[in-house]
Amino acid sequence: MKQPGFISCLFTLLLASVAGYGQRTFISAGGEAAFPGKGLEYHAGTGFGGSLRFQFAWGEHVAGMATIGYVAFAEKSISVSSTRLRAVPIQVGVKYYLRRRTEHADGFFLSAELGLMPVTRRVTYQSGFPGITRKNTDLSFAAGLGYQLGRFEPSLRFQYNLPDAGYQLYYLNFRLAYTFLRGKT
């Protein structure tokens, strides 16, 4: 799973399959702030980034979505080294609106996403030893809630990767997005 072409093809396939069932398509772009979870705060500071989300209405309460994002965490130094983390969550999922959808989705929603998360971790040693860069791609999961208010969408989600090599990355992510109406599919 270390091939970027594989990840791009998988995301395109998932996006096409989700879009095929949609009645109405929305695109949102937003800024993100990520707050490291327990254990990660020793390795990374607050993260900032952005994401692009495609949303496809499936019914009066349910929508499918596909999201690609980028989060870079502030460099964190301890006595012997400093660490820099970057993550690129690529996920598909479902949104459930608590209120019945009319022309535009509105109101509170719950969401769940599953996908891949390539993570780059760069460790630099202060003693002069060569730095280490580790890249891995693992399965990721996100559960969240938010509120769609016209074209604006503030949301909060818990992002977690399921690592094969033992290094876990999880954080609480706040996203503020602007939604563009694309039209009927």
62 assigned to some structural domain: yes
Cα 130 from Cα 123, distance rounded (Å): 9
At residue 123, the pLDDT reads 80
51 assigned to some structural domain: yes
At residue 22, the pLDDT reads 45
Give the CATH number for residue 101.
2.40.160.20
Quick one: which H or E segment has residue 9? helix 4-20
60 assigned to some structural domain: yes
Cα 6 from Cα 136, distance rounded (Å): 14
At residue 91, the pLDDT reads 95
Percent of the chain with pLDDT over 70: 77
The owner of tokens 């818990």 is: 158
At residue 68, the pLDDT reads 95
pLDDT in tens, the chain (185 residues): 445 555 555 555 555 554 444 457 789 999 999 998 876 666 678 899 999 999 988 888 888 999 999 999 888 777 677 778 899 999 999 999 988 766 566 789 999 999 999 988 888 877 777 778 888 888 999 999 999 888 899 999 999 887 766 667 788 999 999 998 755 54
CA angle 13, 108, 49 (to 5 degrees): 55
Quick one: which H or E segment has residue 19? helix 4-20
At residue 185, the pLDDT reads 41
One-character DSSP codes across 50-110: EEEEEEEE-SSSEEEEEEEEEEEEPPEE-SSEEEEEEE--EEEEEEEESSPP-SS--EEEE
Helices and strands, counts by H and E, the chain: 1, 10
> CB-based contacts of 83: which residues, under 8 Å, 6+ apart?
43, 44, 75, 76, 77, 121, 122, 123, 124
152 assigned to some structural domain: yes
Using alpha carbons, select from 21, 25, 20, 44 the residue that is nearest to residue 33: 44
> CB-based contacts of 131: which residues, under 8 Å, 6+ apart?
122, 123, 124, 125
State the pTM of this model: 0.79
Cα 161 from Cα 175, distance rounded (Å): 18
176 assigned to some structural domain: yes
Give phi and psi for 59, each to the nearest 5.
Answer: -175, -160
* Beta carbons within 10 angstroms of residue 114's beta carbon: 14
At residue 169, the pLDDT reads 73
Which domain, by its residues, includes 158?
4-180
114 assigned to some structural domain: yes
113 assigned to some structural domain: yes
At residue 70, the pLDDT reads 96
What is the domain count for the chain? 1
Give phi and psi for 138, each to the nearest 5.
Answer: -130, 165
185 assigned to some structural domain: no
